[in-house]
Structure 1
Amino acid sequence: MRFLHNLGFFCILFLVSPLFTSSQEHVKGVSNHKEHIHKHMSRKLSFEIKLHGFLLWASMGFLTPVGLLAIRMSHRVQCRRRLRILFYVHALSEILSLLLSTAGAVMSFRNFNNSFNNRHQRIGVGLYGLIWLQALIGIVRPQRGSKGRSMWFLVHWMLGTAVSLLGVLNIYTGLVAYQEKTSKGIKFWTIVFTAEVCFITFFYLFQDKWVYIHKQGVSLGNESKGATTDQVVLPRDKQKEVAPAESC
């Protein structure tokens, strides 16, 4: 009787064990599938973070400074053709910067955790608003010589400066946020971006003084030659007529 009882027990165990094994394999398969999805999402999220950072660097770290330098250089240009070219460079750079920053902001709102609990996100929201405000002010530019031109220029200049400074600051905070989220080093990119900022700053300050330096050299070089030719050869009232026009 005991033999029959044990035989029945082993038969039931033999029948149930495949079900138990298949259940374990099913659970393991579900776990592996979830882990695969998690890895895939992590790779996707990492790519989106890098793309977001690249778009904002291209916008705030490159195109905005290029537009700022172009309009700064135009203050010393007398040729209308060169002045028009620099103005178009400024306008196109700022339009592309606006489009790229908008694409980066849309990516951030759609794909990232926007709890606004860190400095990068809070600065980013304020910066995005200032970018669009600056664009609208640029569109409604008054004609040169009109009554509100001076006030418009002051506001446009102040907003442009604020956007440039906040843009550079937010790139640094974005690198810090990237390091905190991915645990990856940012030392190399920080050094590269700092070198770029230093070069742009130096060029911004130097090009404003280049004309002055050039004039200093010209005036010192021509000081010993000048006066006798005009006084002896040409009458005083004819000097303006033969004065060479500035070439383009």
Structure 2
Amino acid sequence: MQVSHLLGSFTIPALYVFLLPLVSCSSHGEATASSSHKSIKENVHKLSPQMTSYIAVHGLLLWVSMGFLMPVGILFIRMANKEEGGRRVKVLFYLHALLQILAVLLGTIGAVMSIKNFENSFNNSHQRLGLALYGAIWIQALIGFFRPPRGNKRRSTWYLTHWILGTVVSLVGIINIYTGLNAYHEKTSRSTGIWTILFTAEVSFIAFFYLFQDKWEYIQKQGLILGNAPQPTPPSDQENATEQRDNQKVMLPEPCGKRNALRNLFD
């Protein structure tokens, strides 16, 4: 009995020693989780209606700029490169330039809004990509304005730089719109599923049209090869008879004298 009493007296304090840190850790974890959840709720409720509208306008401007005008402008210049010349090439080129200028202006307005009204700590991918895009769109615009004439040695280098930078800016801009939709959901706790679906449908249509117009000429040629070309009409009996008479013409031999031997050889 004394032994069991001694074991009980040592066991109970030992359990307190081992279990007390676990209980304190769990309570601390629950307090941390509750405090973080509370801070998220407070951050959501801190956004005023005016700030929410600023975020929505900023996202709409960048959507139109990076997600619509720039890709459509690329489609126009792609179509112009396939034309041989004429008025249609000039129209497509000016449409490309106009859409790109509008995209740069709208993107600049969205950048000014974000710098003026938002907390730009640049601790997330959306803000970092956005900052890089703000500079890249202006560099791309300046490259487009300083286009060397055809035949210049710098023309090929300019074209390669303009093409690569424009493609990268358009793709990164589309990616940043998705990150912006996610950031809007985290800031306002509002659902962005319908906007994500609409933007995905738009991008998919533009990509499909880009690939389709790239292969349209090839598709037309395939249709001609498969038998859509007009079949030649068979010649009439009179034409057959005339052709046979022409084929049956026999050249009369000329006398092979010494004077005409060289001539007969070349004939």
- Which string of whole-angstrom CA distances, capped at 9 and with x for unpartnered residues, describes residues 126-160 of structure 1? 11111011001101101012111111000000000
Matches within 5 A, 1:102-117: 102-117=108-123
Matches within 5 A, 1:1-248: 42-219=48-225, 220-222=227-229, 224-225=231-232
Partner of 1:12: none
Q: TM-score, normalised by structure 2?
A: 0.68
Shift >3 Å, 4+ stretches: none
Q: How many residues align?
A: 192
| Amino acid of the structure 2 residue aligned with 1:58 | V
Pairwise CA distance, 1:41: 6.8
- Unaligned runs of 5+ residues in structure 1 are 1-38, 233-248
Q: TM-score, normalised by structure 1?
A: 0.73
Root-mean-square deviation over aligned CA pairs? 2.1
Partner Cα distance (2:200, 2:47) in 1: 32
3-state SS of paired residue (1:217): helix
Cα distance 1:139–1:84, how it changes in 2: closer, same or farther (>3 A)?
A: same
Larger relative CO (CA 8 A, sep 6+): 1 or 2?
1
Q: Which has the larger radius of gyration?
A: 2
Pairwise CA distance, 1:222: 2.6
Give the share of equivalent positions with the same residue, in percent. 59
Partner Cα distance (2:82, 2:129) in 1: 34
Pairwise CA distance, 1:44: 0.5
Partner Cα distance (1:218, 1:95) in 2: 40
| Amino acid of the structure 1 residue aligned with 2:77 | I
Partner Cα distance (2:224, 2:86) in 1: 23
3-state SS of paired residue (2:223): helix
- Unaligned runs of 5+ residues in structure 2 are 1-44, 240-267
Say which structure is richer in helix.
1
Pairwise CA distance, 1:218: 3.1
Q: Between 153-162 and 72-81, report the one with greater CA deviation.
A: 72-81
- Which string of whole-angstrom CA distances, capped at 9 and with x for unpartnered residues, describes residues 28-58 of structure 1? xxxxxxxxxxx89701001100000010001
Q: Between 136-145 and 215-224, report the one with greater CA deviation.
A: 215-224
Partner of 1:27: none
Pairwise CA distance, 1:212: 1.3
Cα distance 1:222–1:77, how it changes in 2: closer, same or farther (>3 A)?
A: same
Partner Cα distance (2:218, 2:228) in 1: 14
